[in-house]
Structure 1
Amino acid sequence: MDMVSHLNDRLLFAIPKKGRLYQQCLELLKGADIKFNRSNRLDIALCTNLPIALVFLPAADIPRFVGEGRVSLGITGQDQVAEAGILVEEVVDLNFGSCKLQVEVPVNGSISNPTELIGKNIVTSFTKLTSEYFKKLEASASGCDEAIVNGTEVPLKTNIKFVGGSVEASCALGIADAVVDLVESGETMRAAGLTPIDTIFETSAVLIASTHPTHSDLMAVIVNRIRGVLAASKYVLCNYNCSRANLEAVVRITPGRRAPTISPLEDSDWVAVSSMVEKKNSAEVMDQLRLAGAEDILLFNISNSRV
């Protein structure tokens, strides 16, 4: 961390420098009003409106920098956190970058069950998670509940090899019987002639924090802003009018995050109701409200929020 030793007055926030999470991270930072200029794709960018320095790192390295360095916040995949095995706090599931860490074999091969891979060659970028998976698989196949017998860890029979990139090519090039790799759409996997036979880990992007952060007050502000951006993207505001006689029924349909806002109208027998509803269910909610007696039902997008 010598490169940032002169930034003691700034909160350090690690962002993936490239890959599947990079662009969505930039959009999240924009929504949280974290402004910066990254000149010539340098690995450090100073924020122009907050005392924050963004540090652009490989996603796999971010858990270590957050867990062991002076970096207080970071965004990476839950798979990278689990693979690193370093103590960090998973603060917010960011609900993007979802994919699966899967065991993949040649589609035209003879292997269809993971137990058939015991003792064979497996190539992956996730050696820790893959080794743990095969330890449990081997223990189960041998009739044991654990990979430890009489206090001694049983040696792994399966040969786990590390490859940093192009994992899916390993079978075609003859160095693996199967691979363990992240699968998002599955296009790359299918193009390589592979098919999944088991899922080891389901993952998405996560905001992580150091257990010993600097600038704790500013960190809390940033976390709340990010939560607000996520809520704004997930919810819409539903406003409608209804008679007091139907109020109990419609409130059951739109209970809100905590409770709906209910305001009296000029007509004492009617009220106005305002409630946040999930965007993905909003059309169905409007239909149900109409059937329950609500009128003048309106939806409004939320540009930002604090929740």
Structure 2
Amino acid sequence: MDLVKDLEDRLLFAIPKKGRLSQPCLDLLRGSDIKFNKPQRLDITLVRNLPIALVFLPAGDIPRLVQRGRIDLGITGRDQIAEYQLRDPPRDDGKGIDEVLALPFGGCKLQVQVPKDGDITEPKQLVGKTVCTSFHHLTSSYFAKFEADATGAAANGDANGELKTEIEWAGGSVESSIALGDAVGIVDLVESGDTMRAHGLKAISTVLESTAVLIKSKRARNPELVNLIASRIRGVITAQAYVLCTYNIKRELLPIASKVTPGKRAPTINSLEEEGWVAVSSMVERKKIAEVMDELERIGAEDILVRTIENARSS
């Protein structure tokens, strides 16, 4: 197989090869009817039913390759995009990244963390001390404002000690840096907070809130295919977030019921053979469906059914 030749006419779509974003991305692609076999040893696979090649990369590499136009489309975290663009700011050369769509997974916070039983309660107290992180540029930028304040205070004779925070890079197990005496504080991603608490740490500030995002290169090839993929992914996200609720109700109660199930645009209403009754179909947020069914029953709806949605198209 001549891989270089096979890629010539294909849209290159980058997916995180491992980590917390990897499996949700694979599920999202399969839900979008993008047919592929994930390779065991190769980082590139050809999609069978569309002119796309999937490229499996570290999440931190994806913003760089999308911004430079080497990759057309990608999924990564906002934290990775922000870190890369501080390291290599976008230039006025036609290259760059456009965010297409925020995705409903990968939610986390990049937070400043310190020992929970310690005396540090504010990030400015870490100025002049050592902080470990894998987000060197975001951390340096965040502490720069505190360093500027400390420098001003020192100039007025109100502070002493070093005015520069020592940012040490740590690629993994950042939480262990404090226990090992390598740092006084860390800056790391927090999802549930369980790992942070297990290491005896507490968050004292948030540097950045992040989620997974679909991004495209400003020089992406085949814009029509990019839009098709984005539309399919939106459909999967909608299907995951909503269910279809159908029920029968007396027409005179329809104004009340429509407020309970307004749908994304409006409920679908059909007359029944029985005079004075209508059938209603409406999309309802999955997380609210139990309360909605309770309320529909309370106001007199009957034959209430809920169906899952496999896919959807909705503006």
Which residue does 1:47 correspond to in 2? Answer: 47
1:135 touches 1:156 (CA, 8 Å); kept in 2? no
- One of 111, 129, 132 as aligned partner of 1:120: 129
Q: TM-score, normalised by structure 1?
A: 0.90
Q: Could you give the per-residue CA deviations for residues 12-43 of structure 1, whole angstroms, max 9, x where no partner exists?
A: 00000111111111111111111112332311
* CA separation of 1:211 and 1:269: change in aligned 2, threshold 3 A: same
Which residue does 1:149 correspond to in 2? Answer: none
- The AA in structure 2 aligned to 1:130 is T
2:268 touches 2:281 (CA, 8 Å); kept in 1? yes
Q: Could you give the per-residue CA deviations for residues 191-243 of structure 1, whole angstroms, max 9, x where no partner exists?
A: 33322111111111111111221111111111111111111111000101112
RMSD of Structure 2 on Structure 1 (CA): 2.0
Secondary structure at the aligned position of 2:237 is classed as helix
Which residue does 2:93 correspond to in 1? Answer: none
Secondary structure at the aligned position of 1:229 is classed as helix
Secondary structure at the aligned position of 2:112 is classed as strand
Structure 1: tracts of 5 or more residues without a match: 145-154
Separation in structure 2 between the aligned mates of residue 4 and residue 183 of structure 1, nearest angstrom: 39
Shift of the alpha carbon at 1:8? 1.9
Counterpart mapping for 1:170-181 below 5 A: 170-181=177-188
Which residue does 2:248 correspond to in 1? Answer: 241
* CA separation of 1:142 and 1:242: change in aligned 2, threshold 3 A: farther
Which residue does 1:89 correspond to in 2? Answer: 98
Shift of the alpha carbon at 1:121? 1.1
Shift of the alpha carbon at 1:302? 0.8
Separation in structure 2 between the aligned mates of residue 143 and residue 239 of structure 1, nearest angstrom: 65
Separation in structure 1 between the aligned mates of residue 299 and residue 187 of structure 2, nearest angstrom: 51
Count matched residues.
295
Counterpart mapping for 1:130-145 below 5 A: 130-139=139-148
- Percent of aligned positions that are identical: 59
Shift of the alpha carbon at 1:245? 1.0
Which residue does 1:148 correspond to in 2? Answer: none
Separation in structure 2 between the aligned mates of residue 272 and residue 139 of structure 1, nearest angstrom: 65
1:236 touches 1:299 (CA, 8 Å); kept in 2? yes
Q: TM-score, normalised by structure 2?
A: 0.88
Secondary structure at the aligned position of 1:171 is classed as helix
- One of 243, 254, 264 as aligned partner of 2:261: 254
* CA separation of 1:168 and 1:90: change in aligned 2, threshold 3 A: same
Secondary structure at the aligned position of 2:37 is classed as coil
Structure 1 consecutive aligned stretches of length 4 or more whose deviation exceeds 4 Å: 3-6, 139-144
1:285 and 2:292 matched: yes
2:72 touches 2:221 (CA, 8 Å); kept in 1? yes
Which residue does 2:158 correspond to in 1? Answer: none
Which residue does 1:222 correspond to in 2? Answer: 229
- One of 160, 176, 184 as aligned partner of 1:169: 176
Separation in structure 2 between the aligned mates of residue 247 and residue 108 of structure 1, nearest angstrom: 58
* CA separation of 1:272 and 1:203: change in aligned 2, threshold 3 A: same
Separation in structure 1 between the aligned mates of residue 38 and residue 303 of structure 2, nearest angstrom: 47
- The AA in structure 2 aligned to 1:136 is K
- The AA in structure 2 aligned to 1:39 is P
Shift of the alpha carbon at 1:141? 5.8
- The AA in structure 1 aligned to 2:123 is P
Separation in structure 1 between the aligned mates of residue 187 and residue 262 of structure 2, nearest angstrom: 43
Deviates more, 1:92-101 or 1:183-192: 183-192
* CA separation of 1:4 and 1:168: change in aligned 2, threshold 3 A: farther
* CA separation of 1:157 and 1:221: change in aligned 2, threshold 3 A: same
Structure 2: tracts of 5 or more residues without a match: 91-95, 154-161
Shift of the alpha carbon at 1:5? 7.0
